[in-house]
Structure formats: C-alpha cells, structure tokens
C-alpha cells in the first residue's frame, strides 16, 4: 500500500497568509497528528542550522511553528544539530528566544557523546549515533532540500544520516567512497602521464598523494564524472566507477536505519522544505543562488516516500542554469536535475533504492495536497477599447 505524503504547494492563488508555506506547514502537522502523538515525549527537532553566513536553511518561522505544536501537544521540544553547526547558530536566527526551545549539539560540544552500534559495512564497523538523538523519545526530522556534492541531493535522509552521527563516523562514511580501489599504479608507472591525468581534470578532483606520488586520490565531491581523465589515463589504471559513488548513498541508508531503530514505531515524522535549493549542502557556510524553482513543503511518517515524492516533484522543474556557479558544469541532461548538476553516478534516487531494500519505507506514495491552488474565478470584463 502506498504511503501518504502531505504536500503544501509554494504557489498561491490569493495574497493571503493562509495560502503560504508556514500556514500549510500547520495543515501538514495536523494531517500528521503531531499534537496527538507527543504527549510526555522528549521531542528532538533535527534540522540543519547551517553554518557561517548561510541564510537558506529552514527559516525560524517554520521551526517555531513545529515547536509550538509540540508544546501544545504536551511534548518537550528541543532543536539539535551537529556542534559544528549549532555553535554560533544564533547568528542565523536559531536561538531559544526565537525558536521557543533550546538548541543543543547532538553529540555534545566535543562530539564525544554518542552510542555505538555495530554494523560492518566496507571501512565502517561501529557507528556512533549522537547521544541526544538516541536519548530523545520522538523525532521531528525537518530538512532543507538542496544539492549535495557527494550524493546529488540532501533532504530527509541526509539530515539524519550525517546529521545524527558523531564526527568520526561522518568522516568514515565519506571514506567509504574510497574503499573499493579506483587507481591501479602498476598500470601507470610514468610520472609525466600521472601528471597529465591530474591536469586533465578541470575541477581539480584528482591529486597526487603528497607522500607517495605514485598514488592518485579522487576527491569524489568535486568529480562530476565527465570522463576527461579517463582519456588521459592508460587503460586499466583509473576507474570512475558507480561502486565508489554509491557507497556513500548506501552508508546514508544504513545510518538512517540505525538512527530510526532508536525510536519506537510511530515515533518519528519527517518534513522536507524545498525552497531556495542551492547547488551544495548548507554546511558549506554560505548560500548560493537557487538552482531550481521552489517546490514546496512535504511531510510524512515514511522517510522513503517523503524523499521520493520530493525528488519526483522537483524532477520536471527547470534547472536554472544561469544560477549555477561558474566552477560547475552540466554535461548530462538525463534523469533528475540534481544528476545534471553533480553527475550521472550521483543519482539522487539511489539512497532510496538501498533504503527500500532495508525495509525503511516505500517508494510508492500518495501525494495529498493540503491546500490545492484554485484560481479565483472572475466575471469576464466587458470590452474596453484602447485609446
């Protein structure tokens, strides 16, 4: 049976507050029965508070409405994010005074408060789930949707997968992309050829190891899989391979599985705000121009259905190519616009394939618009001749 995803369109027919996204958030929270579900619960509102001078994260106006709903339902809310992002978050409007609840670093101020969970995957053995995440009894996962250089896009999955793990696990999750070998030095013994390979990449994604120049490293985040380097590399010496890129997405699915396993069934809701979607993650510390038109607000109990519905809604939108930073390049126009931006092997749907196989939810969904846009009907005007 398809999962329900509640949707608030960014469009409005009339210039009235009730047709805007914060008001539609209230309707979505009602449809999710949030107030009825949080009595006596310690409610963690997990969001990305951004970094430095970011201004495109979930605006405090939205967060405050969630806080209010939780309080009205008899829950005890607090906002949490990584220490790296909560330190100084008041400069971006995320303070107790504005939000109406405290803002905490999820794994403590030194990233030393966590619970370990064993799940061998490539280079990862024990995963460190942030202490405050596991200590809370109810989760509101409130994500800002944007592009992401490791996996194409960031939304509900990414907000939990990286945002609920302590620093060493986050780092190891990125390292999972390097677990399967992609550089075979014995096939390229010539230093001049190695240099030519490095120089063939316009994005400086390939670098020589400082201590062992025979070894090349691929910075996956900078690589859009254009294939130029493969033309410079001797046969068999370099792979630009799906297994490396998809490892990160599989690691994200595992991390979300572990995070959600710390909550009892029915004790988590997920929200995606798809406005001012930037090319890269909010952790970069700045806000770039939006690269897609606003797509709206989404809410569901099913995290897989939520990200699927969000991606599907964005898919037909126009990638605003004039807003893409000059250091990036669109070399494919197949599939999802986030794939155009970050390359064919960073397919944003991949994490959902892994997650559905793990039983985290369904990619089939029913999209329910909480306030359909109805064009105002007007009496036809009589003919008015031009002057």
Q: Which is nearer to ligand SF4, 165 or 188 (CB)?
A: 188
- Cα separation, 270 vs 188, in Å, equals 48
Assess 229 for contact with ligand SF4 (CB under 6 A). Answer: yes
Tell me the window of 217-225, 242-250, 260-268, 354-362 that interacts with ligand SF4 (CB under 6 A): 217-225
Residues 6 or more apart whose Cβ sits within 8 Å of residue 22: 61, 62, 65
Residue 35 interacts with ligand SF4 (CB under 6 A): yes or no: no
CB of 250 to ligand SF4, least distance (A): 20
Pairing, β 124-130 against β 76-81: unpaired
SS3 call for 103: strand
Helix (H/G/I), strand (E/B), else coil: 154: strand
User: Should residue 69 be labelled a site residue for ligand SF4 when binding is judged by CB under 6 A?
Assistant: no
Q: What 8-state DSSP symbol labels residue 277?
A: B
Residue 48 or 346 having the CB closest to ligand SF4? 346
Binding-site size, ligand SF4 (CB under 6 A): 14
* Helices 350-357, 242-261: inter-axial angle, 10-degree rounding: 50
The answer to whether residue 227 forms part of the interface with ligand SF4 (CB under 6 A) is: yes
- The dihedral formed by the CA atoms of 173, 174, 175 and 181, expressed in degrees to the nearest 10: 110
How many Cα atoms sit within 13 Å of 172 on the Cβ side? 18
Question: Which position among 119, 217, 228, 315 is part of the footprint of ligand SF4 (CB under 6 A)?
Answer: 228
Q: Decide: is 203 part of the binding site for ligand SF4 (CB under 6 A).
A: yes
Sheet holding 365-369, edge to edge: 103-105, 76-81, 42-46, 138-144, 268-274, 296-300, 3-8, 365-369
Give residues 165-194 in contact with ligand SF4 (rule: CB under 6 A). Answer: none
How far apart are CB 219 and ligand SF4 at their closest, in Å? 8
Q: Does 143 bind ligand SF4 (CB under 6 A)?
A: no
225 binds ligand SF4 (CB under 6 A): yes
223 binds ligand SF4 (CB under 6 A): yes
Residues contributing to the site for ligand SF4 (CB under 6 A): 200-201, 203, 205-206, 218, 223-229, 240
């Amino acid at each position: 049976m398809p999962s329900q995803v509640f949707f608030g369109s960014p469009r409005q027919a009339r210039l009235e507050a009730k047709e805007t996204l914060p008001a539609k958030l209230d309707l979505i929270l009602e449809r999710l029965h949030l107030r009825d579900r949080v009595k006596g619960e310690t409610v963690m509102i997990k969001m990305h508070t951004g970094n430095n001078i970011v201004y495109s994260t979930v605006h405090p106006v939205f967060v405050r409405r969630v806080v209010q709903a939780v309080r009205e339902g008899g829950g005890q809310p607090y906002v949490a994010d990584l220490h790296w992002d909560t330190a100084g978050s008041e400069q971006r409007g995320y303070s107790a005074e504005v939000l109406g609840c405290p803002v905490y670093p999820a794994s403590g101020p030194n990233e030393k408060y966590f619970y370990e969970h064993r799940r061998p995957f490539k280079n990862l053995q024990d995963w460190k789930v942030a202490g405050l995440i596991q200590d809370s009894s109810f989760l509101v996962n409130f994500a800002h949707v944007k592009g992401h250089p490791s996996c194409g896009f960031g939304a509900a999955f990414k907000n939990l997968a990286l945002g609920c793990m302590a620093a060493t696990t986050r780092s190891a999750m990125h390292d999972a992309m390097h677990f399967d070998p992609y550089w075979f030095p014995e096939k390229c013994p010539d230093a001049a050829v190695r240099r030519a390979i490095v120089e063939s990449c316009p994005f400086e994604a390939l670098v020589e190891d400082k201590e062992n120049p025979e070894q090349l490293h691929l910075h996956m985040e900078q690589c859009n899989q254009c294939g130029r380097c493969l033309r410079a590399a001797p046969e068999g010496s370099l792979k630009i391979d799906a297994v490396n890129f998809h490892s990160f997405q599989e690691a994200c699915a595992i991390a979300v599985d572990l995070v959600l396993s710390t909550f009892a069934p029915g004790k988590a809701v997920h929200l995606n705000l798809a406005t001012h979607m930037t090319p890269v993650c909010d952790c970069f510390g700045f806000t770039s121009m939006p690269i897609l038109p606003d797509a709206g607000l989404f809410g569901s109990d099913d995290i897989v259905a939520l990200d699927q519905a969000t991606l599907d809604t964005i898919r037909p939108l126009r990638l605003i190519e004039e807003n893409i930073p000059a250091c990036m390049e669109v070399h494919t126009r197949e599939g999802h616009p986030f794939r155009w931006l970050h390359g064919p092997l960073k397919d944003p749907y991949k994490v959902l394939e892994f997650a559905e196989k793990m039983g985290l939810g369904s990619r089939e969904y029913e999209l329910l618009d909480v306030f359909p846009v109805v064009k105002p009907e007007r009496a036809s005007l009589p003919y008015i001749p031009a002057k």
